Chains A and B, each alone.
Chain A
Amino acid sequence: MSAVAQMSPTPPAGTLAPPMSASPLDAETLVSQTGAIVDQELKPLTARVDREGLYPEAVLRSLGYAGVYRAHLANARTDGEVDFPAAIRAMATVSQECLSTGFAVWCQDTCAWYLEIGNPKARELWLESLASGTVLGGTGMSNTMKAFAGIEDLRLSGERVEGGYVVNGSLPWVSNLGEGHVFGSLFTLSGDTRQTVMALVDCRSPGFSLRQSAHFVALEGTRTYACIFDNVFIPDEHIIDDNGAGFLERARAGLVMLQFGMGAGNIQGCINVCRSAEPMLGHINQFLDDRPDELQEELDDIVDAVLTLAETPCEASPDFFREVLELRLAAGELALRASQSAMLHTGAKGYLSSAPAQRKLRESYFVAIVTPATKHLRKELARMHEMDV
C-alpha cells in the first residue's frame, strides 16, 4: 500500500468545548475539558483506531479547539505564560484512553514547540494554526536525536539556493502527517555536514511524498509514513533555526518532557485496568508482583518529579537534562511493568482481542521504543555518567 491515505476535508471544529480563541484555560479546566472530549468523542473510536488504523482527526481538532495544544506556548497565549505541566496532564488524559491519539497530541505539541522557540518569521506564519489545531503537524526528529547521540547518520541534506534550501533524502516513520500537515525536521548542509538547519516541512511541497508500507502492532491510527524528499524547496520563511545543533539543545528538554504525557497516561491506564479486576480477583491477584498500589506510588513519584521539572522547560544545564532522561527511562520501564501487570491481573479477560489490557500491553512498548528509546537513554546516561567521573 502506498501514498497518502484517505484524506478528509477539515471537519467542523469540536462540538464540546466553548470557543477558546487564544485565551488560555487554567490547568484544571483544561484537563477536565480534555477528559470530556475523551469520554464523548474518543472513547467510541478507540477500538477502531487501534484495530483499523482509523486516524482520530475529529478528536484532534476538538482538542485543538479546546486549547490543549497551546498550554505550553507563550507566544500563542494571551497571558504569555508557559504551562508545560498542563500540556503534559492533558496529553496523559488522552493517552490513558488511547495512546495513538496521545501520540498524535505529542506530535502536535512538539511541532508547535519548535515554532515557539524558533525564528519569529516561521512562528508568525505557523504557530497559531498549530496551536489551534487547524493545521496538524508532526516531528521528524528521531533520526536527528539518534544522530546527535552517535547512533546513526543524518538522513536529510540541503543545498543553499536563492531564497531557501533544496532538500534531499528520506525519513522513515514520521507520524501525524497527511496532505496539508507540516512537520519539523533537521537537515545537514551538503558540503559541510557539521552544519545543520532546522526547518518546517510542508507536506504539500513539490517533490515531497509520503509512503505507507508496513503495519504496526499498535499506534496504527497515527498516520505514520516514510517521507521522501526529492529536491524539495524549503523557503527561508520556513527555517526554524539556522543553527540546528543549538536548536536541538534548546528544544530537547521540552520535547522529552512532553512525552511524559504519553507514558504517564499509558501507565495510569494499566493501573486502572489492574484495579478494575480487584473486586472479583483481588483475593488471588494479591499473589502477583507489581500490585496497583505499588505501581501507583512509582508513577506518582515520576509524575511529581516531571511536573516539577516541567515548570522550567528552558533550563539548559546538563544536570537538568540528565534528570529528564533519567525520568524518561523510568517511565518507559514502568510502562512495560505496568502493562505486564495489567495482563496478569485481568487474566484471560485481558487476553481477549477486544480487551483494553492487551491493547495497553502493545501500546506500552511504544513508550519504551519511541526515540529516545530505552537503549538510547541508557547509552546517553552512561555517557553522561562517564563524563562526570
Chain B
Amino acid sequence: MNDTPYRKWICDACGYIYDEAKGDPDGGLPPGTRYDDMPDDWECPLCGLRKSDLRPLPETPIAEPAGGPPSVGKDRRKGQQRRFGGPAHLVIVGAGIAGWSVAEAVRRRDPLRPILLVSACDGAVYAKPSLSTSLAKALTPADLVDASAETRGLELGVETLTRARVLKIDRVKRRLITACGGIGYGNLVLALGARQRLLPVAGDAADEVLRVNDLRTYRELRSRLDAGARHVTLLGAGLIGCEFADDLTAAGHRVTVVDPADRPLSALLPVGVANALRDRLADKGVDWRLGVTLAALGHAEDGLAAQLSDDERLRTDIVLSAAGLLPVTEPAARAGIAINRGIVADRDLCTSDPVVYAIGDCAEIEGTCFSYIEPIRRQAEAIAAHLVGEEEPFIPLPPLVRIKTPSMPMTVCVSDPRLGAQQNWEAISRDVKGIRLEQRGVGTKPNFVLTDDYARFGSEMYREHFG
C-alpha cells in the first residue's frame, strides 16, 4: 500500500486539475489513481491533451509581480474613456511649439472655451531647436523638457490627449479618429509639424538611418551615443546637419558629413561664407564628403558599413539623416483639405475648410512653408483673433536665420531665398570679428550675412526693417 500523500496535477494548457485522491471517474480512473498509474492515452476532459501535458500543481500560487501590474498600465488601460471633445471644443492637433502657442493665445482671449490638445507624441513642452545644440552644453534630453503635457495643460486649463495619432478627419461629422477613441470638434487647428525627408538608401541596414526630429528620436540618438557609438555619419549639410556636426564633434564624437552639393548650406550662403564654415568645421575634425550621397548601408562586424555613391566605403556607428524637412500634410490631405507643399492656409490661417486652421511647419501661406520659430507666435495670435471674430491677420516676413554652430555662429536674412548663393554680395566688413555681407539694390528688404561676432547684430538689423 502506497502511503505517500496524494498529489495534484495541472493541465498545462487549460488549467484542469487532476487530483489523485479523486481520480477521473468519467475518464475511467477511480479515486486514488496515481499519476504513474494513469494510462498514456488518457485525455484531459477539458481540452483533450495528454498525461504528459500534466505537471505537478505548484504548492503556492504564481506570485504576482511586486506591487501588482505597473501602475501606468493599470490606470490608463482600465475602462478607458474613448469619446472626447464635442461641438463646442477647439481641438488642436500637435504639441510642438505651434500647438502649444495656439493653446496659450486662445486661452488669453477666451478663458472659457473648452480646448483639447491631441498629439501623437507624449506632448512634452520643449524647445525643438535645442536638439542640435545640447551635447556640447552637456544637457540631457530630460533637461530640454520645460513641462509635461499634463502640467502645461493644467496651467492653461486645456485638456490633453497624448500618444494619440490622428488617423482620419471626418469633416462631415466634425470628428477626429484615433486609436484611443473619437474626438468631436467645433474648430480644429492642425499643428502637425514637419518630418525629416526619408532618403532612398539600399542595403540591409537601411532601416538603421536615424531621423532626429523630436524628443523621442533624440533620446534614441543619445542612448546610442551613450552606448559607446563613436562615429556618426550625417546625411545633409543643411542647417540642422551643420549644427549637429558641430555639436557632435564638440562632444568628442567623430563625424562625417555627406551631401550631394559641393559645400555646406549651399542654397542659403554665399560661396565664400559656405567655404569658411566648411574649413572651420574641418579644423574641428569634421570629415566632409561633398558631391556624393549615401548609396547603401549594411551591417558590419561591429557597427555599420556605409557605401557612398563614389564607391568610397566607411565604417560608422550611427547614420543620422538631416536632408530637409517636409511638412506633414496627411491626414488633412485624406480629408480633402487643400494641400500644396504644406496645408494651404490664408493670412487668418484658415484652410480650405473654414472651421479648420493650419499653423507652424505644416502650414503653407502664400506659397511659403515657414520651417522656423519666428512666425509661429504671430500665426497663433492670428488664429486666436479670428476665432473670437477679431482681425489680426498674419503678415509673412522674410526669415531671419540663425545658424547655431558655435564654431562659426551666423545670422542670415535673405528676403528671396534664391538670392542667397548669388555672387553680388558687398563685403561691408571682413576682419577678426567676422564677416559682414550685404546685398543692396534688390528691393527695399534687407539682405545680410553676419558671422561670428557680427552675428549678434542680426536681430537689431532685422528689427530696424520690420519692427
B49 contacts A214, C-beta separation under 8 Å: no
List A residues 207-265 near B (Cβ within 8 Å).
211-214, 225-226, 228
Identify the closest chain B residue to A323 (Cβ): B179
With a cutoff of 8 Å between Cβ atoms, the chain B residues found around residue A155 in the complex are 12-13
- Assess whether A228 is in contact with B49, with CB atoms less than 8 Å apart: yes
Residues of B within 8 A of A305 (CB): 167-168, 177-179
Q: Which A residue sits closest to B73, measured CB to CB?
A: A382
B51 to chain A, nearest CB (A): 11
> Which residues of A are found within 8 Å of B77, using beta-carbon distances?
329, 378, 381-382
Contact among B74, B80, B163 with A388 in the assembled complex (CB-CB below 8 Å): B163
Q: Is B200 an interface residue (CB 8 A)?
A: no
Given A172-B48, A226-B49, A305-B168, CB of A379 within 8 Å of CB of B82 = no
Partner among B49, B72, B167, B177 whose Cβ is within 8 Å of the Cβ of A170:
B49
- When the two chains form their complex, are residues A213 and B46 in contact, meaning their CB atoms are under 8 A apart? yes
Count how many chain B residues have C-beta atoms less than 8 Å from C-beta atoms of the other chain. 40
Residues of A within 8 A of B180 (CB): 326
**Closest residue of chain A to B11, judged by CB?**
A172
In the complex, which residues of chain A have a beta carbon less than 8 angstroms from the beta carbon of B13?
Answer: 155, 170-173, 226
Report the Cα distance A388→B175, complex, angstroms. Answer: 28
Q: Which residues of A contact B50 (CB under 8 A)?
A: 170, 228
Residues from chain A with Cβ under 8 Å of B175 in the complex: 301
- List which A355-389 residues lie within 8 A (CB) of chain B: 378-379, 381-383, 385-386, 388-389
Q: Are B177 and A304 within 8 A (Cβ)?
A: yes
Is residue B70 contacting chain A, with contact meaning CB distance below 8 A? Answer: yes
Task: Give 1 or 0 for each of A146-173: 1 = CB within 8 Å of chain B CB.
Answer: 0000000001000000000000001111
Choose from A213, A326, A333 the contact partner of B179 (Cβ within 8 Å): A326
User: Given the known A-B contacts A297-B83, A323-B165, are A2 and B70 also in contact in the complex, defined by CB atoms under 8 Å?
Assistant: no
Contact: A381 with B44, CB < 8 Å? no
Does A298 reach chain B (CB closer than 8 Å)? yes
Please tell me if A309 contacts chain B, counting CB pairs below 8 Å.
yes
A contact face: mostly helix, strand, loop, or mixed: helix
Give chain B residues whose Cβ lies under 8 Å from the Cβ of A301.
82-83, 175, 177, 181-182
For window 41-66 of A, CB contacts with B under 8 Å fall at none
Given A172-B13, A301-B83, check contact A213 B47 (CB 8 Å). Answer: yes
**A16 located at the interface, meaning its Cβ lies under 8 Å from any Cβ of chain B in the complex:** no
Tell me the chain B residues, 74-133 only, with Cβ under 8 Å from chain A.
Answer: 74, 76-80, 82-83, 120, 122
Query: In B17-65, which residues have CB < 8 Å from any A CB?
Result: 43-50, 52-53
Give the distance in Å from the alpha carbon of A213 to the alpha carbon of B178 in the complex. Answer: 42
Q: Which chain A residue has the least Cβ–Cβ distance from B52?
A: A170
Residues of A within 8 A of B44 (CB): 213, 226
| Chain A neighbourhood of B452, CB < 8 A | none
Distance in Å: Cβ of A28 to nearest Cβ of chain B: 19
Complex Cα–Cα for A381 and B72 (A)? 10
**A171 CA / B46 CA spacing, docked (Å):** 13
B177-219 toward A: CB 8 Å interface, digit per residue (1/0)? 1111110000000000000000000000000000000001000
- 8 Å CB contact of B48 from A213, A324, A330: A213
Provide the residues of chain A in CB contact with B78, threshold 8 Å: 378
Given A213-B47, A214-B47, CB of A170 within 8 Å of CB of B73: no
Q: Does A192 contact B (CB under 8 A)?
A: no
Question: What does the 1/0 interface line of A276-307 toward B look like (CB < 8 Å)?
Answer: 00000000000000000000011011001100
Provide 15 A-B residue pairs closer than 8 Å at the C-beta atoms, listed in order of the A residue.
A212-B48, A214-B14, A214-B46, A228-B49, A228-B50, A297-B83, A304-B167, A305-B167, A305-B179, A308-B167, A308-B168, A381-B73, A382-B77, A385-B76, A388-B122
Interface residues of chain B, those whose CB is within 8 Å of chain A, are: 12-14, 43-50, 52-53, 69-70, 72-74, 76-80, 82-83, 120, 122, 163, 165, 167-168, 170, 175, 177-182, 216
